[in-house]
Copies of this chain bind each other. A is one copy, B any other.
């Protein structure tokens, strides 16, 4: 049998070749999407796991109930009440392999190929890819520094509905948005809930960055402001602790959850990781959030300060985030940030171009900058390096301020 078996004509119609990506890391790596590596509580997680295994290790031989580990769901329901004012029960919490899986199954349960979904003007690229791969038409709604603009959203809903493209749902990251770093104020959220009710369009609220606040006060969650079941609430332990844990969750009405379940490829969320997370956070949630804030604040401040020093007076604008991992740099119209990614990488600075996040390819002059991964010093120096690189290209209208 020297011949090679041919799979030609044997693949399903919906299957697609997916390329293997090998991410590169620049000297100043602002292209990543990572929380601070230096405060991951390895010992605490191992100890949490040991405690959990002592208590209920033998239950690991069961494929336990579909919603995931009960102790972690109890902890999560209490956390949602304490931190977000969301009243739910452990039975309504559904654990997933990261918030990505939660979004994936909800998208599949609520939309068919050809359907329309509304997102922020710039949207998390992972979710955008999920929508695109499912054949869903994502339409971005205008934003400002406070996130979605209610009046523009209302108008967009009306227009799309008139075109026979009534949106199946609104996907939004209202707190420390990825990629723009903005947070939508509570008052706006109330307006948006009224608009969504009027149009009968549910909200998929992705709250995965809410634990990463280092300044100011969290705004009220859509899922606490609405009590009719119109809001599906997604969140994550991967950002709070460490992405490799792959643990997120969602809370939605039973009729939604019971349909979303069927789109999971993976079965019950990992119980091993669940025990570690529950065991650690039960004792150390507030301590860990404090550590995270102490790490993130100086990193964000260093990057924002360096943006001021190096990009002030050039016509560039940037977000001043109160949490999360990202700021968003908007260069003057026509600055080809999308085209310059590789050259900037070679010059030492990694970033993701704004166009990666735009359903319609907008944002060629924008860049998402992750401040969470590098040190404050590298954040400061890397922004100076980026300014120098752009200056060398003749793209900085004034010299950086001294």
Contact = CB atoms under 8 A, between A and B. Distances in A.
A253 B97 CA distance: 26
Interface in A263-319: 263-273, 276
B263 A264 contact: no
A109 B35 contact: no
A105 interface: yes
A162 interface: no
Nearest to A91: B20
A271 B241 CA distance: 13
Contacts of A105: 265
A16 interface: yes
Given A61-B34, A262-B15, A244 B272 contact: yes
B373 A10 contact: no
Contacts of A35: 61
A311 B54 CA distance: 40
A49 B242 CA distance: 15
* Assembly stoichiometry (copies): 2
A295 to B, nearest CB: 12
Nearest to A7: B255
Main secondary structure of the interface of A (DSSP, over half): loop
A53 B49 CA distance: 13
A61 B242 contact: yes
A65 interface: yes
B262 A265 contact: no
Contact of A53 (B22, B46, B61, B272): B46
Interface in A7-54: 7, 10-22, 32-37, 40, 42, 45-46, 49-50, 53-54
25 contacts: A1-B228, A5-B226, A7-B202, A10-B168, A11-B259, A12-B110, A12-B115, A12-B259, A16-B259, A17-B259, A18-B258, A18-B259, A18-B262, A19-B258, A20-B258, A35-B61, A40-B60, A49-B49, A60-B243, A63-B244, A96-B266, A133-B262, A245-B271, A246-B271, A273-B273
